[in-house]
Chain A
Protein backbone atom coordinates (compact mmCIF):
# COMPACT_ATOMS: atom_id res chain seq x y z
CA UNK A 1 0.00 0.00 0.00
CA UNK A 2 1.33 3.43 -0.89
CA UNK A 3 2.13 5.79 1.91
CA UNK A 4 -0.38 8.42 0.79
CA UNK A 5 -3.14 5.79 0.84
CA UNK A 6 -2.12 4.77 4.34
CA UNK A 7 -2.19 8.38 5.50
CA UNK A 8 -5.67 8.91 4.06
CA UNK A 9 -6.88 5.71 5.75
CA UNK A 10 -5.36 6.88 9.03
CA UNK A 11 -7.15 10.21 8.74
CA UNK A 12 -10.50 8.55 7.92
CA UNK A 13 -10.04 6.25 10.90
CA UNK A 14 -9.31 9.29 13.06
CA UNK A 15 -12.58 10.98 11.99
CA UNK A 16 -14.46 7.72 12.53
CA UNK A 17 -13.05 7.32 16.02
CA UNK A 18 -14.00 10.90 16.93
CA UNK A 19 -17.59 10.26 15.82
CA UNK A 20 -17.68 6.94 17.68
CA UNK A 21 -16.34 8.62 20.81
CA UNK A 22 -19.12 11.21 20.58
CA UNK A 23 -21.72 8.52 20.08
CA UNK A 24 -20.75 5.92 22.69
CA UNK A 25 -21.28 6.35 26.41
CA UNK A 26 -23.81 6.06 29.21
CA UNK A 27 -26.36 7.40 26.74
CA UNK A 28 -25.76 6.10 23.21
CA UNK A 29 -26.47 8.69 20.56
CA UNK A 30 -26.78 7.33 16.99
CA UNK A 31 -24.35 8.59 14.31
CA UNK A 32 -26.81 10.63 12.18
CA UNK A 33 -27.97 12.35 15.34
CA UNK A 34 -24.35 13.09 16.35
CA UNK A 35 -23.64 14.74 12.99
CA UNK A 36 -26.88 16.68 13.20
CA UNK A 37 -26.08 17.93 16.70
CA UNK A 38 -22.49 18.82 15.79
CA UNK A 39 -23.37 21.07 12.89
CA UNK A 40 -26.58 22.73 14.08
CA UNK A 41 -27.42 24.83 17.08
CA UNK A 42 -29.86 23.21 19.37
CA UNK A 43 -30.92 22.42 22.88
CA UNK A 44 -31.90 19.35 24.82
CA UNK A 45 -30.08 16.75 26.82
CA UNK A 46 -28.27 15.10 23.90
CA UNK A 47 -27.01 18.48 22.69
CA UNK A 48 -25.68 19.19 26.19
CA UNK A 49 -24.00 15.79 26.46
CA UNK A 50 -22.18 16.22 23.16
CA UNK A 51 -21.16 19.87 23.50
CA UNK A 52 -20.53 20.08 27.23
CA UNK A 53 -19.22 16.61 28.04
CA UNK A 54 -18.01 14.48 25.15
CA UNK A 55 -16.62 17.03 22.70
CA UNK A 56 -14.33 18.79 25.21
CA UNK A 57 -13.15 15.41 26.40
CA UNK A 58 -12.31 14.33 22.86
CA UNK A 59 -10.51 17.61 22.20
CA UNK A 60 -8.52 16.98 25.37
CA UNK A 61 -7.70 13.44 24.21
CA UNK A 62 -6.45 14.76 20.86
CA UNK A 63 -4.41 17.49 22.55
CA UNK A 64 -2.80 15.25 25.12
CA UNK A 65 -2.46 12.07 23.03
CA UNK A 66 -1.23 13.98 19.99
CA UNK A 67 1.03 16.27 22.02
CA UNK A 68 2.70 13.47 23.98
CA UNK A 69 3.25 11.44 20.80
CA UNK A 70 4.81 14.44 19.09
CA UNK A 71 7.01 15.02 22.15
CA UNK A 72 8.03 11.34 21.96
CA UNK A 73 9.05 11.73 18.30
CA UNK A 74 11.12 14.82 19.14
CA UNK A 75 12.85 13.33 22.18
CA UNK A 76 13.64 10.08 20.37
CA UNK A 77 15.13 12.00 17.42
CA UNK A 78 17.10 14.31 19.71
CA UNK A 79 18.61 11.60 21.89
CA UNK A 80 18.70 9.02 19.08
CA UNK A 81 17.43 6.56 21.64
CA UNK A 82 14.28 4.50 21.08
CA UNK A 83 13.61 4.12 24.80
CA UNK A 84 13.35 7.81 25.58
CA UNK A 85 9.80 9.08 26.05
CA UNK A 86 8.29 12.37 27.20
CA UNK A 87 8.42 11.36 30.87
CA UNK A 88 12.02 10.08 30.88
CA UNK A 89 13.55 13.47 31.65
CA UNK A 90 11.49 14.10 34.75
CA UNK A 91 9.28 16.81 33.24
CA UNK A 92 6.26 14.80 34.41
CA UNK A 93 7.87 14.15 37.79
CA UNK A 94 8.28 17.90 38.21
CA UNK A 95 4.62 18.43 37.37
CA UNK A 96 3.58 15.76 39.88
CA UNK A 97 5.74 17.39 42.53
CA UNK A 98 4.24 20.81 41.77
CA UNK A 99 0.72 19.42 42.11
CA UNK A 100 1.60 17.57 45.32
CA UNK A 101 3.05 20.69 46.92
CA UNK A 102 -0.04 22.58 45.89
CA UNK A 103 -2.31 19.93 47.44
CA UNK A 104 -0.29 19.81 50.62
CA UNK A 105 -0.21 23.58 51.06
CA UNK A 106 -3.61 24.65 49.77
CA UNK A 107 -5.57 21.45 50.28
CA UNK A 108 -8.67 21.36 48.12
CA UNK A 109 -9.40 25.06 48.44
CA UNK A 110 -7.32 26.13 45.45
CA UNK A 111 -8.99 27.91 42.52
CA UNK A 112 -9.89 25.96 39.36
CA UNK A 113 -6.65 26.52 37.50
CA UNK A 114 -4.37 26.11 40.49
CA UNK A 115 -3.62 22.43 39.78
CA UNK A 116 -2.74 22.78 36.09
CA UNK A 117 -0.73 25.90 36.87
CA UNK A 118 1.25 24.28 39.66
CA UNK A 119 1.86 21.24 37.46
CA UNK A 120 3.08 23.43 34.64
CA UNK A 121 5.27 25.44 37.00
CA UNK A 122 6.78 22.21 38.34
CA UNK A 123 7.65 21.02 34.83
CA UNK A 124 9.10 24.42 33.86
CA UNK A 125 11.42 24.30 36.87
CA UNK A 126 12.69 20.87 35.79
CA UNK A 127 13.22 22.02 32.20
CA UNK A 128 15.19 25.03 33.39
CA UNK A 129 17.33 22.97 35.78
CA UNK A 130 18.11 20.38 33.08
CA UNK A 131 18.95 23.07 30.56
CA UNK A 132 21.28 24.93 32.91
CA UNK A 133 23.05 21.77 34.08
CA UNK A 134 23.40 20.37 30.56
CA UNK A 135 24.61 23.54 28.88
CA UNK A 136 28.38 24.05 28.84
CA UNK A 137 30.51 26.17 26.54
CA UNK A 138 27.82 26.53 23.92
CA UNK A 139 27.05 22.81 23.85
CA UNK A 140 23.96 21.00 25.01
CA UNK A 141 25.44 17.77 26.41
CA UNK A 142 22.67 15.32 25.64
CA UNK A 143 24.02 12.30 27.51
CA UNK A 144 24.44 14.44 30.58
CA UNK A 145 20.87 15.77 30.27
CA UNK A 146 19.47 12.26 29.83
CA UNK A 147 21.11 10.88 32.97
CA UNK A 148 20.39 14.02 35.00
CA UNK A 149 16.77 13.85 33.86
CA UNK A 150 16.38 10.24 34.95
CA UNK A 151 17.85 11.12 38.37
CA UNK A 152 15.60 14.17 38.73
CA UNK A 153 12.68 11.91 37.94
CA UNK A 154 13.64 9.63 40.85
CA UNK A 155 14.17 12.57 43.19
CA UNK A 156 10.79 14.09 42.40
CA UNK A 157 8.94 10.83 42.85
CA UNK A 158 10.68 10.37 46.19
CA UNK A 159 9.61 13.87 47.21
CA UNK A 160 6.03 13.17 46.09
CA UNK A 161 6.05 10.04 48.28
CA UNK A 162 7.43 12.10 51.13
CA UNK A 163 4.60 14.64 50.78
CA UNK A 164 2.03 11.84 50.62
CA UNK A 165 3.41 10.18 53.73
CA UNK A 166 3.20 13.32 55.84
CA UNK A 167 -0.19 14.54 54.64
CA UNK A 168 -3.66 13.32 55.41
CA UNK A 169 -5.46 10.45 53.71
CA UNK A 170 -7.63 12.82 51.68
CA UNK A 171 -4.71 14.72 50.21
CA UNK A 172 -2.84 11.49 49.47
CA UNK A 173 -5.87 10.11 47.66
CA UNK A 174 -6.13 13.22 45.50
CA UNK A 175 -2.44 13.19 44.64
CA UNK A 176 -2.60 9.53 43.65
CA UNK A 177 -5.62 10.23 41.50
CA UNK A 178 -3.96 13.15 39.80
CA UNK A 179 -0.84 11.15 39.08
CA UNK A 180 -2.87 8.34 37.51
CA UNK A 181 -4.01 10.75 34.85
CA UNK A 182 -7.48 11.28 33.48
CA UNK A 183 -9.34 13.19 30.83
CA UNK A 184 -12.35 14.12 32.96
CA UNK A 185 -10.96 17.45 34.19
CA UNK A 186 -12.78 19.34 31.51
CA UNK A 187 -12.08 23.03 31.42
CA UNK A 188 -12.79 24.26 27.92
CA UNK A 189 -10.74 27.52 27.85
CA UNK A 190 -7.72 25.66 29.23
CA UNK A 191 -8.10 22.85 26.72
CA UNK A 192 -8.34 25.39 23.90
CA UNK A 193 -5.16 27.14 25.06
CA UNK A 194 -3.19 23.91 25.26
CA UNK A 195 -4.62 22.68 21.95
CA UNK A 196 -3.44 25.85 20.21
CA UNK A 197 0.04 25.60 21.70
CA UNK A 198 0.26 21.96 20.61
CA UNK A 199 -0.99 22.72 17.10
CA UNK A 200 1.49 25.60 16.77
CA UNK A 201 4.37 23.29 17.70
CA UNK A 202 3.02 20.68 15.26
CA UNK A 203 2.95 23.30 12.50
CA UNK A 204 6.57 24.27 13.23
CA UNK A 205 7.53 20.72 12.19
CA UNK A 206 7.06 21.83 8.58
CA UNK A 207 10.21 23.94 9.00
CA UNK A 208 12.09 21.52 11.24
CA UNK A 209 11.37 18.21 9.49
CA UNK A 210 14.33 18.19 7.10
CA UNK A 211 16.75 19.12 9.88
CA UNK A 212 15.27 16.43 12.15
CA UNK A 213 16.05 13.93 9.40
CA UNK A 214 19.64 15.17 9.37
CA UNK A 215 20.08 14.91 13.13
CA UNK A 216 19.31 11.17 13.20
CA UNK A 217 22.64 10.74 11.38
CA UNK A 218 24.36 12.03 14.50
CA UNK A 219 25.41 15.53 15.48
CA UNK A 220 28.67 15.53 13.57
CA UNK A 221 27.18 14.23 10.32
CA UNK A 222 24.28 16.69 10.61
CA UNK A 223 26.75 19.56 11.05
CA UNK A 224 28.60 18.37 7.96
CA UNK A 225 25.31 18.63 6.07
CA UNK A 226 25.17 22.32 6.97
CA UNK A 227 22.72 22.07 9.89
CA UNK A 228 23.33 24.39 12.84
CA UNK A 229 23.16 21.56 15.31
CA UNK A 230 23.40 23.38 18.65
CA UNK A 231 20.50 25.75 18.03
CA UNK A 232 18.43 22.88 16.62
CA UNK A 233 19.09 20.76 19.73
CA UNK A 234 18.04 23.56 22.06
CA UNK A 235 14.90 24.22 20.06
CA UNK A 236 13.84 20.56 19.96
CA UNK A 237 14.54 20.13 23.66
CA UNK A 238 12.45 23.17 24.59
CA UNK A 239 9.55 22.37 22.24
CA UNK A 240 9.33 18.75 23.37
CA UNK A 241 9.54 19.70 27.05
CA UNK A 242 6.88 22.36 26.61
CA UNK A 243 4.55 19.86 24.94
CA UNK A 244 5.07 17.39 27.79
CA UNK A 245 4.55 20.06 30.45
CA UNK A 246 1.31 21.20 28.81
CA UNK A 247 -0.03 17.67 28.44
CA UNK A 248 0.82 16.65 31.98
CA UNK A 249 -0.62 19.76 33.57
CA UNK A 250 -4.05 19.33 31.97
CA UNK A 251 -4.42 15.56 32.17
CA UNK A 252 -1.95 14.23 34.72
CA UNK A 253 0.49 11.48 33.86
CA UNK A 254 -0.92 9.30 31.09
CA UNK A 255 1.79 6.80 30.39
CA UNK A 256 2.76 4.82 27.32
CA UNK A 257 1.30 7.05 24.60
CA UNK A 258 4.47 9.05 24.02
CA UNK A 259 6.66 5.95 23.94
CA UNK A 260 4.58 3.57 21.86
CA UNK A 261 2.81 5.74 19.29
CA UNK A 262 5.98 7.02 17.54
CA UNK A 263 7.31 3.46 17.24
CA UNK A 264 4.01 2.25 15.90
CA UNK A 265 3.98 4.97 13.25
CA UNK A 266 7.59 4.15 12.32
CA UNK A 267 6.69 0.50 11.85
CA UNK A 268 3.57 1.00 9.77
CA UNK A 269 4.00 4.38 8.05
CA UNK A 270 7.36 6.06 7.85
CA UNK A 271 10.56 6.98 9.65
CA UNK A 272 10.80 10.18 7.67
CA UNK A 273 10.33 13.24 9.89
CA UNK A 274 8.41 14.94 7.12
CA UNK A 275 5.62 12.43 7.88
CA UNK A 276 6.35 11.03 11.33
CA UNK A 277 5.40 14.04 13.54
CA UNK A 278 2.05 14.64 11.83
CA UNK A 279 1.14 10.97 11.61
CA UNK A 280 2.14 10.48 15.25
CA UNK A 281 -0.01 13.40 16.34
CA UNK A 282 -3.07 11.91 14.60
CA UNK A 283 -2.32 8.38 15.81
CA UNK A 284 -1.73 9.58 19.37
CA UNK A 285 -5.04 11.45 19.40
CA UNK A 286 -6.82 8.47 17.93
CA UNK A 287 -5.25 6.07 20.42
CA UNK A 288 -6.20 8.20 23.41
CA UNK A 289 -9.80 8.70 22.23
CA UNK A 290 -10.17 4.91 21.89
CA UNK A 291 -8.55 4.32 25.28
CA UNK A 292 -10.68 6.94 26.99
CA UNK A 293 -13.88 5.67 25.42
CA UNK A 294 -13.01 2.19 26.67
CA UNK A 295 -12.06 3.58 30.09
CA UNK A 296 -15.44 5.18 30.56
CA UNK A 297 -17.54 2.28 29.19
CA UNK A 298 -15.85 -1.06 30.03
CA UNK A 299 -17.18 -1.29 33.60
CA UNK A 300 -19.62 1.66 33.46
CA UNK A 301 -20.77 3.46 35.51
CA UNK A 302 -17.35 3.16 37.15
CA UNK A 303 -14.66 4.97 35.17
CA UNK A 304 -11.22 3.39 34.92
CA UNK A 305 -8.11 5.58 34.90
CA UNK A 306 -7.26 5.96 31.21
CA UNK A 307 -3.63 4.99 31.94
CA UNK A 308 -4.82 1.45 32.73
CA UNK A 309 -6.19 1.13 29.20
CA UNK A 310 -3.28 2.84 27.43
CA UNK A 311 -0.83 0.56 29.25
CA UNK A 312 -2.65 -2.70 28.50
CA UNK A 313 -3.81 -1.84 24.98
CA UNK A 314 -0.62 -0.07 23.92
CA UNK A 315 1.67 -2.70 25.37
CA UNK A 316 -0.11 -5.65 23.76
CA UNK A 317 -0.48 -3.97 20.36
CA UNK A 318 3.14 -2.95 20.39
CA UNK A 319 4.58 -6.31 21.33
CA UNK A 320 2.37 -7.90 18.65
CA UNK A 321 3.53 -5.45 15.97
CA UNK A 322 7.18 -5.77 16.94
CA UNK A 323 7.17 -9.55 16.74
CA UNK A 324 5.31 -9.54 13.49
CA UNK A 325 7.65 -7.12 11.78
CA UNK A 326 10.98 -8.58 12.92
CA UNK A 327 12.39 -5.11 12.85
CA UNK A 328 14.71 -3.33 15.16
CA UNK A 329 13.32 -0.08 16.44
Chain B
Protein backbone atom coordinates (compact mmCIF):
# COMPACT_ATOMS: atom_id res chain seq x y z
CA UNK B 1 0.00 0.00 0.00
CA UNK B 2 1.22 3.44 -0.87
CA UNK B 3 1.57 6.14 1.77
CA UNK B 4 -0.80 9.03 1.25
CA UNK B 5 0.59 11.08 4.11
CA UNK B 6 3.78 10.50 6.02
CA UNK B 7 4.56 12.50 9.15
CA UNK B 8 8.09 12.10 10.49
CA UNK B 9 9.43 13.35 13.85
CA UNK B 10 7.13 16.34 13.73
CA UNK B 11 7.59 19.14 16.24
CA UNK B 12 5.20 22.09 15.92
CA UNK B 13 2.91 24.20 18.08
CA UNK B 14 2.62 27.58 19.69
CA UNK B 15 3.87 29.13 22.93
CA UNK B 16 2.63 26.92 25.77
CA UNK B 17 1.97 23.78 23.76
CA UNK B 18 3.80 21.74 21.18
CA UNK B 19 3.55 18.40 19.46
CA UNK B 20 6.44 16.17 20.45
CA UNK B 21 8.13 14.09 17.73
CA UNK B 22 4.99 12.79 16.07
CA UNK B 23 5.46 10.07 13.45
CA UNK B 24 2.78 8.14 11.60
CA UNK B 25 1.65 7.10 8.14
CA UNK B 26 -1.73 7.36 6.51
CA UNK B 27 -2.04 4.63 3.93
CA UNK B 28 -3.83 5.29 0.70
CA UNK B 29 -7.54 4.51 0.85
CA UNK B 30 -7.67 4.06 4.61
CA UNK B 31 -9.76 5.71 7.34
CA UNK B 32 -7.54 6.93 10.16
CA UNK B 33 -8.88 8.38 13.39
CA UNK B 34 -7.06 10.60 15.85
CA UNK B 35 -8.31 10.17 19.42
CA UNK B 36 -7.18 11.52 22.77
CA UNK B 37 -8.31 13.66 25.70
CA UNK B 38 -9.10 17.38 25.35
CA UNK B 39 -5.94 19.43 24.94
CA UNK B 40 -3.84 16.50 23.77
CA UNK B 41 -2.98 18.20 20.45
CA UNK B 42 -5.40 16.57 18.02
CA UNK B 43 -6.52 19.80 16.39
CA UNK B 44 -3.00 21.22 16.52
CA UNK B 45 -1.80 18.18 14.59
CA UNK B 46 -4.49 18.63 11.91
CA UNK B 47 -3.79 22.35 11.62
CA UNK B 48 -0.08 21.66 11.20
CA UNK B 49 -0.83 19.17 8.44
CA UNK B 50 -3.06 21.69 6.66
CA UNK B 51 -0.37 24.37 6.89
CA UNK B 52 -2.01 26.68 9.44
CA UNK B 53 0.74 26.12 12.01
CA UNK B 54 4.38 26.16 10.85
CA UNK B 55 6.55 23.07 11.26
CA UNK B 56 9.46 23.59 13.66
CA UNK B 57 11.20 20.26 13.09
CA UNK B 58 10.53 17.10 11.18
CA UNK B 59 8.62 16.74 7.94
CA UNK B 60 5.23 16.07 6.44
CA UNK B 61 5.12 14.52 3.00
CA UNK B 62 2.04 14.09 0.88
CA UNK B 63 2.19 11.42 -1.81
CA UNK B 64 5.94 11.01 -1.50
CA UNK B 65 6.69 14.74 -1.83
CA UNK B 66 7.46 17.26 0.88
CA UNK B 67 4.27 19.22 1.53
CA UNK B 68 6.04 22.57 1.91
CA UNK B 69 7.35 22.26 -1.62
CA UNK B 70 3.96 21.73 -3.25
CA UNK B 71 1.84 24.65 -4.46
CA UNK B 72 -1.08 25.63 -2.24
CA UNK B 73 -3.55 25.55 -5.08
CA UNK B 74 -2.26 22.22 -6.34
CA UNK B 75 -2.67 20.79 -2.82
CA UNK B 76 -6.18 22.25 -2.53
CA UNK B 77 -7.16 20.29 -5.65
CA UNK B 78 -6.49 17.03 -3.82
CA UNK B 79 -6.84 17.74 -0.09
CA UNK B 80 -10.09 19.04 1.40
CA UNK B 81 -10.57 20.12 5.00
CA UNK B 82 -13.64 20.37 7.23
CA UNK B 83 -12.52 22.07 10.41
CA UNK B 84 -14.20 22.11 13.77
CA UNK B 85 -15.71 25.57 13.67
CA UNK B 86 -16.89 26.51 10.22
CA UNK B 87 -18.20 30.05 9.85
CA UNK B 88 -21.69 30.18 8.36
CA UNK B 89 -21.68 32.86 5.66
CA UNK B 90 -25.13 34.19 4.70
CA UNK B 91 -25.31 32.11 1.52
CA UNK B 92 -27.69 29.63 -0.01
CA UNK B 93 -26.62 25.98 0.23
CA UNK B 94 -25.99 25.74 -3.52
CA UNK B 95 -23.81 28.88 -3.54
CA UNK B 96 -21.91 27.64 -0.50
CA UNK B 97 -21.21 24.20 -1.96
CA UNK B 98 -20.04 25.72 -5.25
CA UNK B 99 -17.31 27.65 -3.38
CA UNK B 100 -15.52 24.32 -2.96
CA UNK B 101 -14.75 24.39 -6.70
CA UNK B 102 -12.49 27.45 -6.29
CA UNK B 103 -9.20 25.46 -6.41
CA UNK B 104 -10.25 24.13 -9.81
CA UNK B 105 -10.72 27.61 -11.33
CA UNK B 106 -8.23 28.33 -14.06
CA UNK B 107 -6.05 31.41 -13.75
CA UNK B 108 -8.37 33.92 -15.44
CA UNK B 109 -11.57 31.98 -14.99
CA UNK B 110 -14.42 34.16 -13.73
CA UNK B 111 -17.66 32.21 -14.12
CA UNK B 112 -18.60 28.74 -12.89
CA UNK B 113 -18.08 26.23 -15.66
CA UNK B 114 -20.85 23.72 -16.51
CA UNK B 115 -18.54 21.10 -15.02
CA UNK B 116 -18.50 22.94 -11.68
CA UNK B 117 -22.30 23.02 -11.60
CA UNK B 118 -22.50 19.36 -12.53
CA UNK B 119 -20.05 18.28 -9.83
CA UNK B 120 -21.87 20.39 -7.24
CA UNK B 121 -25.21 18.87 -8.27
CA UNK B 122 -23.86 15.31 -8.09
CA UNK B 123 -22.30 15.83 -4.69
CA UNK B 124 -25.40 17.51 -3.23
CA UNK B 125 -27.40 14.53 -4.51
CA UNK B 126 -24.93 12.08 -3.00
CA UNK B 127 -24.85 13.83 0.36
CA UNK B 128 -28.63 14.21 0.33
CA UNK B 129 -28.99 17.98 0.49
CA UNK B 130 -30.38 18.57 -2.98
CA UNK B 131 -33.82 19.31 -1.53
CA UNK B 132 -32.69 22.35 0.40
CA UNK B 133 -30.13 23.75 -2.00
CA UNK B 134 -32.10 27.01 -2.29
CA UNK B 135 -32.31 27.55 1.47
CA UNK B 136 -29.94 29.67 3.50
CA UNK B 137 -27.22 27.88 5.44
CA UNK B 138 -28.19 29.73 8.61
CA UNK B 139 -31.76 28.35 8.47
CA UNK B 140 -30.65 24.71 8.65
CA UNK B 141 -30.20 22.44 11.65
CA UNK B 142 -26.74 21.55 12.94
CA UNK B 143 -26.80 18.15 11.25
CA UNK B 144 -27.87 19.60 7.91
CA UNK B 145 -25.18 22.28 8.17
CA UNK B 146 -22.55 19.62 8.74
CA UNK B 147 -23.73 17.81 5.61
CA UNK B 148 -23.30 21.09 3.70
CA UNK B 149 -19.73 21.47 4.99
CA UNK B 150 -19.02 17.92 3.85
CA UNK B 151 -20.52 18.63 0.44
CA UNK B 152 -18.39 21.77 0.10
CA UNK B 153 -15.29 19.69 0.86
CA UNK B 154 -16.30 16.84 -1.46
CA UNK B 155 -16.83 19.07 -4.52
CA UNK B 156 -13.11 19.76 -4.32
CA UNK B 157 -12.84 16.15 -5.53
CA UNK B 158 -10.20 15.42 -2.89
CA UNK B 159 -8.05 12.30 -2.63
CA UNK B 160 -7.46 13.07 1.04
CA UNK B 161 -10.24 14.40 3.27
CA UNK B 162 -9.26 15.85 6.65
CA UNK B 163 -11.99 16.40 9.24
CA UNK B 164 -11.96 17.78 12.78
CA UNK B 165 -14.73 16.14 14.81
CA UNK B 166 -17.29 15.76 12.03
CA UNK B 167 -19.92 14.30 14.39
CA UNK B 168 -19.59 16.88 17.14
CA UNK B 169 -22.95 17.76 18.78
CA UNK B 170 -24.98 15.64 16.39
CA UNK B 171 -27.69 13.14 17.30
CA UNK B 172 -27.03 9.41 16.69
CA UNK B 173 -28.88 9.36 13.38
CA UNK B 174 -26.79 12.23 12.01
CA UNK B 175 -23.66 10.65 13.48
CA UNK B 176 -24.43 7.46 11.58
CA UNK B 177 -25.31 9.45 8.46
CA UNK B 178 -22.00 11.34 8.47
CA UNK B 179 -19.90 8.28 9.26
CA UNK B 180 -21.79 6.22 6.68
CA UNK B 181 -21.19 8.90 4.07
CA UNK B 182 -17.47 8.94 4.87
CA UNK B 183 -17.30 5.14 4.61
CA UNK B 184 -19.10 5.24 1.24
CA UNK B 185 -16.77 7.93 -0.06
CA UNK B 186 -13.81 5.90 1.11
CA UNK B 187 -14.99 2.72 -0.62
CA UNK B 188 -16.61 4.05 -3.79
CA UNK B 189 -14.45 7.06 -4.56
CA UNK B 190 -11.20 5.88 -2.99
CA UNK B 191 -10.95 8.95 -0.77
CA UNK B 192 -8.46 8.59 2.09
CA UNK B 193 -9.80 9.97 5.37
CA UNK B 194 -7.96 11.41 8.35
CA UNK B 195 -10.16 12.70 11.14
CA UNK B 196 -10.26 13.68 14.77
CA UNK B 197 -13.00 11.73 16.56
CA UNK B 198 -13.96 12.42 20.14
CA UNK B 199 -16.35 9.49 20.49
CA UNK B 200 -14.19 6.42 21.05
CA UNK B 201 -16.95 4.05 19.99
CA UNK B 202 -17.54 5.82 16.68
CA UNK B 203 -13.78 5.74 16.13
CA UNK B 204 -13.78 2.04 16.88
CA UNK B 205 -16.63 1.25 14.47
CA UNK B 206 -15.58 3.32 11.49
CA UNK B 207 -11.77 3.69 11.54
CA UNK B 208 -9.27 1.11 10.39
CA UNK B 209 -6.37 2.69 12.24
CA UNK B 210 -6.21 4.90 15.33
CA UNK B 211 -3.66 7.32 16.76
CA UNK B 212 -3.99 7.92 20.49
CA UNK B 213 -2.55 11.31 21.36
CA UNK B 214 -1.75 12.35 24.92
CA UNK B 215 0.02 15.56 25.90
CA UNK B 216 1.31 16.23 22.39
CA UNK B 217 2.80 12.74 22.03
CA UNK B 218 1.57 9.63 20.33
CA UNK B 219 0.67 7.31 23.19
CA UNK B 220 0.05 4.37 20.91
CA UNK B 221 -1.15 3.66 17.39
CA UNK B 222 -2.66 0.72 15.54
CA UNK B 223 -5.97 -0.92 14.64
CA UNK B 224 -8.85 -0.20 17.11
CA UNK B 225 -8.50 -3.63 18.76
CA UNK B 226 -4.91 -2.83 19.73
CA UNK B 227 -5.44 0.80 20.80
CA UNK B 228 -8.77 0.62 22.62
CA UNK B 229 -7.57 -1.53 25.50
CA UNK B 230 -8.28 -0.93 29.16
CA UNK B 231 -4.62 -0.27 29.89
CA UNK B 232 -4.08 2.41 27.22
CA UNK B 233 -7.42 4.18 27.66
CA UNK B 234 -7.24 4.34 31.46
CA UNK B 235 -3.74 5.75 31.28
CA UNK B 236 -4.65 8.30 28.60
CA UNK B 237 -7.96 9.51 30.05
CA UNK B 238 -7.21 8.89 33.75
CA UNK B 239 -10.55 7.28 34.53
CA UNK B 240 -11.52 3.64 35.08
CA UNK B 241 -13.07 2.09 31.97
CA UNK B 242 -14.65 -1.18 30.92
CA UNK B 243 -13.98 -2.54 27.46
CA UNK B 244 -16.54 -4.77 25.80
CA UNK B 245 -17.21 -5.63 22.18
CA UNK B 246 -19.92 -4.53 19.79
CA UNK B 247 -22.49 -7.33 19.44
CA UNK B 248 -22.59 -7.00 15.64
CA UNK B 249 -19.12 -5.92 14.55
CA UNK B 250 -17.13 -7.44 17.41
CA UNK B 251 -15.10 -4.22 17.53
CA UNK B 252 -14.18 -2.83 20.97
CA UNK B 253 -16.70 -0.65 22.84
CA UNK B 254 -15.57 1.60 25.69
CA UNK B 255 -17.71 2.32 28.76
CA UNK B 256 -16.75 4.63 31.61
CA UNK B 257 -16.20 2.52 34.70
CA UNK B 258 -17.45 4.78 37.47
CA UNK B 259 -21.08 4.23 38.42
CA UNK B 260 -23.08 7.08 40.00
CA UNK B 261 -24.12 4.70 42.79
CA UNK B 262 -20.53 4.49 43.96
CA UNK B 263 -20.22 8.28 44.31
CA UNK B 264 -20.73 9.92 47.72
Chain A residues engaging chain B, CB cutoff 8 angstroms = 80, 206-207, 209-211, 213-214, 216-218, 220-221, 223-228, 266, 271-272, 274, 327-329
Contacts and interface: CB of A to CB of B under 8 A. Distances in A.
B90 A217 contact: no
B51 interface: yes
B75 A274 contact: no
Contacts of B102: 210-211, 213-214, 225-227
B80 A224 contact: yes
A227 B72 CA distance: 7
Given A210-B105, A274-B110, A328-B138, A217 B81 contact: no
Contacts of B120: none
Interface string B145-156: 000000000001
A271 B99 CA distance: 13
Interface of B: 50-52, 71-77, 79-81, 83, 86-87, 89-91, 95, 99-100, 102-103, 105, 108-111, 136, 138, 156
Contacts, number: 69
A111 to B, nearest CB: 44
Contacts of B90: 266, 271, 327-329
Contacts of A80: 87, 89
A130 B97 CA distance: 35
Q: Which 9 A-B pairs have the closest CB atoms?
A: A226-B76, A226-B73, A224-B81, A226-B103, A218-B87, A225-B102, A216-B89, A226-B72, A214-B102
B136 to A, nearest CB: 8
Contacts of A329: 90
A271 B159 CA distance: 30
A225 B103 contact: yes
26 contacts: A80-B89, A209-B110, A210-B105, A213-B99, A213-B102, A214-B99, A217-B87, A218-B86, A220-B83, A221-B81, A221-B86, A221-B87, A223-B52, A223-B72, A224-B79, A224-B81, A225-B103, A226-B71, A227-B102, A228-B72, A271-B89, A271-B90, A272-B95, A274-B110, A327-B136, A329-B90
Given A207-B108, A217-B87, A271-B91, 17 more contacts: A206-B110, A216-B91, A217-B86, A217-B89, A218-B86, A218-B87, A220-B83, A223-B52, A225-B102, A226-B74, A226-B76, A226-B77, A226-B102, A266-B90, A271-B90, A271-B95, A327-B90
Contacts of B72: 223, 226-228
A226 B99 CA distance: 12
Nearest to B90: A328
Contact of B52 (A220, A271, A272, A327): A220
Contacts of B110: 206, 209-210, 274
A227 B99 CA distance: 12
- A211, A217, A266, A271: which has the most chain B beta carbons within 10 Å? A217
A27 B90 CA distance: 47
